[in-house]
Amino acid sequence: MNQRHESETRISEFDKFREIVARLRGRDGCPWDRAQTMESLKPCMINEMTEAVAGIDLYKATGNPENLCEELGDVLLQVVLLSQIAEEEGLFTIENVIEGISRKMIRRHPHVFGSGSSLPEEVPGQWEEIKRAEKAGKPTGWEKLEKQAFSRAALQVIENLKRSSSEIP
């Protein structure tokens, strides 16, 4: 299979998945999916990310990538589902999400996409400098809100880990 055909297949699979999620949220879709909100999906996102991290460990322990692949799919579902809700609310689309992360990766990797240093020991410093500049452009108080949200999410991860570890015989 040539590279262009592989790329087109990947794109069509992603579009097909987006259509599935949109249909699940549609008028004749799944009642559970239709009832979800960004707020109600927060625990789901945290849970799926925690399971993906466990999937990495399982892969490292067994050499079998199947569980990791499945868990990454579950994380992708959360991203697409949250983006679908945002689109329905007129906030942004999955294309906006992809465009934003693409711009960020290009901006944070000047050693690849621009004229930054390509010395491995200098890359982390460049990355941190770029992140500081990005934060400086955010509204006053944003960093405090961001830290509070991160702390709440971290506490939820800890709770999930405690719950799942208590199930281990």
Residue 1 clears pLDDT 60, i.e. is over it? no
Residue 144 clears pLDDT 60, i.e. is over it? yes
Categorize the per-residue pLDDT at 162 as very low, low, confident or very high, splitting at 50, 70 and 90: low
For the chain, the structural domain boundaries read 139-169
* pLDDT value, residue 5: 67
* pLDDT value, residue 110: 85
How confident is the model over 75-85, as pLDDT tens digits? 999 999 999 99
Mean pLDDT computed over 128-155: 73
* pLDDT, mean over the chain: 86
Would you state the structure tokens that stand for residue 86, as one six-digit string? 């945002």
Contact 33, 25 (CB under 8 A): yes
How confident is the model over 4-63, as pLDDT tens digits? 667 667 779 999 999 999 999 999 999 999 999 999 999 999 899 989 999 999 999 999
